[in-house]
C-alpha cells in the first residue's frame, strides 16, 4: 500500500469514495499480502490511508488456473500446474465479500464477466461465465451476494 500512501499527498475531496484493487498472492485468498500479519492488518492500513472516506473494492478475483506450483532446486523439475474447481472459485468470492461487507465497503467488482478463449492462460479463467457462455458455479454466489 506504499503506492497509495505516495498517491495521497493531499486531502481527498469530501464525499469522495476511495477505490482499491485487492488480488490474492496465489490461490489462498485469505493469506495477507507481504508485509502484513493478517487481512485485518491490511484493512487497518487501507482505512488509515483513506482517511475515513468510504471504500469500494473496484477489482478482485481468483482465476481457476493454471496456478504454477514452483518447487525449489533441485526439485524444480517437479514444477506443475494446479487448477481450482468452479466451487473453489465461488467459495473464494463468498469469503472475499465476507471480509469486506462487515467493514462497510460499498461494493465489490469481480474480475471478470467471462472467461477468455485461451484456457491454458491464467488471465483467461477468472470469469463468472465460461468462455462458451455457460454459467459457472460462481454465478449463484454472485446472485446471493447481490440479493
Q: What is the pLDDT of residues 9-18, one digit of tens each?
A: 567 788 889 9
Which cell numbers in the block locate residue 33? 499480502
Could you tell me if 96 and 60 are in contact, meaning their C-beta atoms sit under 8 angstroms apart?
A: yes
Indicate if the pLDDT at residue 29 is higher than 70.
Answer: yes
Q: What is the pLDDT of residues 70-112, one digit of tens each?
A: 777 777 667 788 888 999 999 999 999 999 999 999 999 999 9
Question: 55-69 b/e with 16+ CB inside 10 Å = b?
Answer: bbbeebbbbbbbbee
What pLDDT, on a 0 to 100 scale, did the predictor assign at position 2? 66
What pLDDT, on a 0 to 100 scale, did the predictor assign at position 43? 93
Q: Count how many Cα atoms sit within 13 Å of the Cα of residue 68 in the half-sphere of its side chain.
A: 10
pTM to 2 decimal places: 0.81
What pLDDT, on a 0 to 100 scale, did the predictor assign at position 11? 74
**Any idea of the CA torsion for 88, 28, 30, 128, to the nearest 10 degrees?**
-40
What is the set of domains in the chain, with CATH numbers?
A: 2-146 (3.20.20.80)
> Across all residues in the chain, what is the average pLDDT?
87
Amino acid at each position: 500500500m506504499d503506492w497509495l500512501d505516495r498517491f495521497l499527498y493531499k486531502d481527498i475531496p469530501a464525499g469522495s469514495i476511495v477505490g482499491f484493487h485487492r488480488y490474492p498472492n496465489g490461490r489462498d485468498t485469505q493469506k495477507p499480502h507481504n508485509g502484513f500479519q493478517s487481512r485485518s492488518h491490511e484493512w487497518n492500513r487501507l482505512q488509515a490511508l483513506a482517511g475515513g472516506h468510504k471504500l469500494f473494492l473496484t477489482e478482485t478475483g481468483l482465476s481457476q488456473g493454471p496456478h504454477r506450483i514452483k518447487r525449489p532446486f533441485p526439485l524444480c523439475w517437479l514444477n506443475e500446474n494446479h487448477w481450482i474447481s468452479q466451487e473453489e472459485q465461488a467459495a473464494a468470492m463468498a469469503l472475499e465479500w465476507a471480509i469486506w461487507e462487515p467493514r462497510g465497503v460499498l461494493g465489490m467488482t469481480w474480475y471478470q464477466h467471462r472467461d477468455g478463449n485461451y484456457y491454458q492462460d491464467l488471465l483467461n479463467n477468472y470469469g463468472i461465465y465460461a468462455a462458451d457462455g455457460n454459467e459457472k458455479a460462481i454465478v449463484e454466489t454472485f446472485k446471493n451476494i447481490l440479493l
